[in-house]
């Protein structure tokens, strides 16, 4: 049939009777409310992402390897049993009992149990309906927990947003852009750019003071609430300790001693890159504390990685740190990032990788800092597509002007 005939099956709203038009409007309003206006393709992608996240959560507790001499059906039943218990044990004891009772009733053959008492009344008990209602009751209880937790997480997200800078400060000779994407509602990544009081700098004549700018990016081991709480302590300690005189290596050493007192014997360590920029000389002095090496792309096309430093913060209290220095010439681009960027995975479990990141950076190095940042994030989005984000992603882009 031609296009005209096809269109005739879908009457224009103006040609529909008022009563029918109201029904169509109500159905459309209902669908928009349920779907929040998302397209079918977006809904399908979200379903795939949720399914992968759910499977990843429960599969950690499941031994999927086939044992010697185990037949296919036995292997399937063993894995299914482990998966069932992995789900059930996430519930409280009362809810486990309700779920088991609901499943028992739902798995019963279709049957009704009818009782009566004389000639006055009769009752009918439908097993499937009762099982469905019990399962719905458990869903309501779980939703209550989720709503309360979501509200608390939203408050935590707002608090974390207050701790992180909303926009870059004005730094002479630098064009700065930064962004963060938490894997969960709150993140364990930290970034900051702020002026440091004008203490005597090693490269300024004796007695002369100059305000420098501190640039920091850090990644706390772990994700979500525990990592976010430790990130807040890192931010507070850095802001406090940088107010005291001393070199950048002294500052990092003090940060390390503080981190060791809160690292649970090294289990909650923090990788970090701290740098101090001196506008008059265009010199950037830095310390890399076990962090992914930032990439400096020179205007000439050459590149180098900033690796000088030492151990992550919180691993060894007596750790010593060394600093490195670079001069940022006009057109140079420095990108500092957390490991969530290069380790981002697509649905085939392939990593985004250092090579692809470098190619994207080099291809867009002539653009402003904000454009470079957006391009890198867009490239990650295209690569990852519908795969769930499993780690926080944070970038700082510095473009020398």
In a domain, 190, yes or no: yes
In a domain, 8, yes or no: yes
In a domain, 224, yes or no: yes
Q: Are residues 249 and 329 in the same domain?
A: yes
In a domain, 339, yes or no: yes
Question: Which residue blocks in 108-219 are alpha helix, DSSP H?
Answer: 127-163
Q: Would you give per-residue pLDDT tens digits along the chain (401 residues)?
A: 444 444 444 455 555 555 556 888 888 888 888 888 888 888 888 888 778 778 777 777 788 788 888 888 888 888 888 888 888 888 899 999 999 999 988 888 765 555 555 555 555 667 888 889 999 999 999 888 888 877 877 777 777 777 888 889 999 999 999 999 988 777 788 999 999 876 544 444 444 567 899 999 999 887 777 778 888 888 888 988 988 888 999 999 999 998 888 766 656 789 999 999 999 999 999 999 999 999 999 999 999 999 999 999 988 889 999 999 999 999 999 999 999 999 999 988 899 999 999 999 999 999 999 999 999 999 999 999 878 888 899 999 999 99
d(CA 138, CA 94): 10
Q: Are residues 366 and 241 in the same domain?
A: yes
**pLDDT for 204:** 43
Q: Are residues 158 and 211 in the same domain?
A: no
Q: Are residues 158 and 172 in the same domain?
A: no
**pLDDT for 33:** 86
Q: Are residues 58 and 195 in the same domain?
A: no
**pLDDT for 357:** 95
Q: Are residues 97 and 222 in the same domain?
A: no
* Closest listed residue to residue 103, CA positions, set 150, 125, 135, 77: 135
Residue 318 phi/psi, 5-degree rounding, is -90, 10
CA 275 to each of CA 279, 283, 289: distance values in angstroms, whole numbers, following the listed order:
13, 10, 11
346 beta partners:
none
**pLDDT for 47:** 84
In a domain, 144, yes or no: yes
Q: Are residues 182 and 222 in the same domain?
A: yes
pTM for this prediction: 0.69
DSSP symbols for 357-390: HHHHHHHTTTS-HHHHHHHHHHHHHHHHTTSPP-
Burial of 62 (0-12, 13-18, 19+ CB in 10 A): middle
Q: Are residues 125 and 156 in the same domain?
A: yes
**pLDDT for 201:** 44
Q: Are residues 149 and 169 in the same domain?
A: no
Q: Are residues 171 and 264 in the same domain?
A: yes
In a domain, 83, yes or no: no
Task: Find the CATH number of the domain harbouring 223.
Answer: 3.60.40.10
Q: Are residues 154 and 200 in the same domain?
A: no
**pLDDT for 2:** 46
Q: Mention every residue, 6+ apart, whose C-beta is less than 8 A from residue 219.
A: 188, 189, 190, 270, 271, 272, 291, 338, 339, 340, 392, 394
**pLDDT for 3:** 44
d(CA 307, CA 271): 12
**pLDDT for 89:** 87
In a domain, 82, yes or no: no
Last residue of a domain, one of 19, 54, 77: 77
**pLDDT for 396:** 97
- Helices (H) and strands (E) counted in the chain, each on its own, are 11, 13
d(CA 16, CA 213): 67
Provide the number of structural domains found in the chain.
3
In a domain, 271, yes or no: yes
**pLDDT for 278:** 93
**Domain range holding 153?**
91-114+121-163
Q: Are residues 129 and 263 in the same domain?
A: no
């Amino acid at each position: 049939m031609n296009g005209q005939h096809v269109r005739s099956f879908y009457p224009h709203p103006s040609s529909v009777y008022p009563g029918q038009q109201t029904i169509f409007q109500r159905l459309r309003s209902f669908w928009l409310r349920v779907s929040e206006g998302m397209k079918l393709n977006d809904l399908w992608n979200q379903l795939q992402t949720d399914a992968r996240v759910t499977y990843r959560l429960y599969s950690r507790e499941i031994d999927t390897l086939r044992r010697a001499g185990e037949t296919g059906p036995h292997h399937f039943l063993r894995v299914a049993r482990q998966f069932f218990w992995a789900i059930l044990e996430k519930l409280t004891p009362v809810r486990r009992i309700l779920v088991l009772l609901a499943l028992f009733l739902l798995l019963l053959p279709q049957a009704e149990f009818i009782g009566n008492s004389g000639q006055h009344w009769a009752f009918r008990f439908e097993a499937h309906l009762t099982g469905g209602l019990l399962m719905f009751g458990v869903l309501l209880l779980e939703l209550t927990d989720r709503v309360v937790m979501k509200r608390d997480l939203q408050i935590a997200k707002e608090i974390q947003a207050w701790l992180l800078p909303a926009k870059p400060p004005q730094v002479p000779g630098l064009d700065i852009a930064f962004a963060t994407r938490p894997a969960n509602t709150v993140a364990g990544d930290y970034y900051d750019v702020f002026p440091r009081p004008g203490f005597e700098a090693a490269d300024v004549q004796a007695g002369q003071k100059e305000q420098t700018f501190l640039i920091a990016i850090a990644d706390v081991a772990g994700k979500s609430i525990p990592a976010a709480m430790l990130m807040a302590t890192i931010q507070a300690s850095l802001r406090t300790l940088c107010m005291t005189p001393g070199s950048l290596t002294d500052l990092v050493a003090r940060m390390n001693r503080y981190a060791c007192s809160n690292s649970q014997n090294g289990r909650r360590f923090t990788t970090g890159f701290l740098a101090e920029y001196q506008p008059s000389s265009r010199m950037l002095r830095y310390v890399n504390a076990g962090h992914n090496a930032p990439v400096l792309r020179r205007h000439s096309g050459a590149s180098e990685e900033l690796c000088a430093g030492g151990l992550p913060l919180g691993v060894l209290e007596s750790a010593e740190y060394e600093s490195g220095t670079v001069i940022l010439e006009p057109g140079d681009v420095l990108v500092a990032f957390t490991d969530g960027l290069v380790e981002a995975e697509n649905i085939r479990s392939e990593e985004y990788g250092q090579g692809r990141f470098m190619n994207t950076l080099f291809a867009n190095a002539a653009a402003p800092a904000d454009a470079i940042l957006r391009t890198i994030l867009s490239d990650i989005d295209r690569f990852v597509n519908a795969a769930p984000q499993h780690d926080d992603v944070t970038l700082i882009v510095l473009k020398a002007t």
